[in-house]
A and B are shown apart, each in its own frame.
Chain A
Amino acid sequence: EVQLVESGGGLVQPGGSLRLSCAASGFTFSDHYMDWVRQAPGKGLEWVGRIRKKANSYTTENAASVKGRFTISRDDSKNSLYLQMNSLKTEDTAVYYCARITPSEYYMDVWGKGTTVTVSS
């Protein structure tokens, strides 16, 4: 079964850091680009960023709202995706989802259940 499981969420103070993880199983993780998407309480979906696969040099794309503060990385040997979040702001409070990108159409076909990040003093 194809599965994505996020972890690492929690309560952090403004200005703090947090690292989210996404464990993948049931498919060849290294063949896929991966995305992070977030959803603030009661709000819509916001794309956070993308990391490409090894053949594309693991290059990344980020939303302007997180550029310079969030870093996406992956470890194909561990079938894991990461989101390093620094200089957190209260507006970063959200459920964070990881999503798999299909290798042909480049859309999000599988999503994890999400992990909650709360930035508050």
Chain B
Amino acid sequence: GENVEQHPSTLSVQEGDSAVIKCTYSDSASNYFPWYKQELGKGPQLIIDIRSNVGEKKDQRIAVTLNKTAKHFSLHITETQPEDSAVYFCAAPANQAGTALIFGKGTTLSVSS
């Protein structure tokens, strides 16, 4: 089955700075990589995802890049705001059948104003 490693576990930035969170995966057959944001007391919210046929995807201040050769993908948040403070999880399909997701251990992002 798939294994997902996520770094860093905590990240503190000043408002307006950029934040980058990186994940690596083990199964070269994996082809779908979502990112979730989880605020305190809430469920995970899908914020962006990428499939293995593209190398980068952007949505306003967030972007995800994928390097299939190195088997890693990254979340980039530009012009961070205090409301970006949350726990971010990367994920990948748990197995080649694609059923359900396995998550990285999460990154706690703190944006100070």
> Are A and B subunits of one complex?
no
